[in-house]
Structure 1
């Protein structure tokens, strides 16, 4: 009869250690195989403020793309390797672009390009209008931007990707995709009694809202003239002080025909009472304190 009580505790612990190590290796391999097959494409956004959690609007924009759009990410290796933080930022940009490709069901294509000095790739970067920055005392230039094209050779670019604008990267990319997927912009006719649009003669600058609208729409200054052309998709009326009876009638008829209009007035402005006349049109209804994000990828 064998006495098991004389087994060495050192030997037992060694066997247990080997078994644990073997189990760990098996688990490691299993997890890697599983992650390659079962959860490929699943991503977690652990960045501060969830910078890479894409909005529903962006997902809808990408899902609606029907014709191929090519995104070309120009990144000069010498530039990213010698600029603090740019390598990591470039990797984040690449991962975000890959997500755009996946969400579009591969209708959006991605090209990664390293434009070295005096190379054909650099010529392409220059041709697209990307901005180069010096990377050597000899004056060689490096590039770190994105150029996008559609099947009809329309193009849009981000000349240089600055880390300071990282929080706006989704906005910039989705704007590009939207513009290339819809090259014919909707027309907004702007009717205003105050200078909301630019006027070089009077040295007025356009309001920031108007500049942003122009990134997605054709904004056509209408002034206070009564004529509204058939190609207008939306009538935007801003503090319409000074509207003539003819203009009011034209607006009313436009809305009655099924046209869309948005009216913005300030009831506390000096001329607010008289500008409210536009709201008395039979076809125009209004609501107080309405705010709206005009971009096609507003977060819900």
Structure 2
């Protein structure tokens, strides 16, 4: 099955769809967000993704008053969540900029008002964060849009994923294998879940959302059949913020996209044939012909 995000097909037989997740790595700064959009476009990604919250709804009660030291001073966790949220005017600005750079853009809504906010901006798709797999109210709201839904599956059981898929349906669904450890150690990557998810949800495109350092695990995911790859990006992993350390810097993203395309070309079609480059060695080296 193929799912179209905008006019771009996602599924087996198509180039892997690469999402550069900006998330909250813009630190509430529109100009920084634009620089990250440039990084994604220059590297050859197909999309950039953000996160959208209504802080008074999506912030857990027990976290709201926890103090957070930030570059802008000490504030409560709830105040910090407000600080880094873009408003409608800012989203219009960065969305237009992403479109101008030839990228799709969308976000992970963390609550129903956030989903409605993004629908009002006419995003091409919606992303369900791993943390939201069990938020059935949010899933029903997203399913009602009729748009492609990308479902991450970190920190979730089969039963929880099954329930989410039942709500979302499979016609416009892409499922991403993910492990919600930041940064992700190799022993927790469990990449064989990619073919497992392909078997469990026949016909549904399956991809990979990675939080590891480096490129190897994401590239291995492509060799196992991932048709979408999502990675966080940053200008500098040493920047302040919770996701920067598990993000790719500009050169890393460029190399990821480059190497994905090389792997896709190298995988071939699985049909044995004598390749053009083998003809000269064959004529020179093979003594017995049959």
TM tier relative to shorter chain: under 0.3
Larger radius of gyration: 1
TM-score w.r.t. the length of structure 1 is 0.25
Larger relative contact order (Cα-Cα within 8 Å, sequence gap ≥ 6): 2
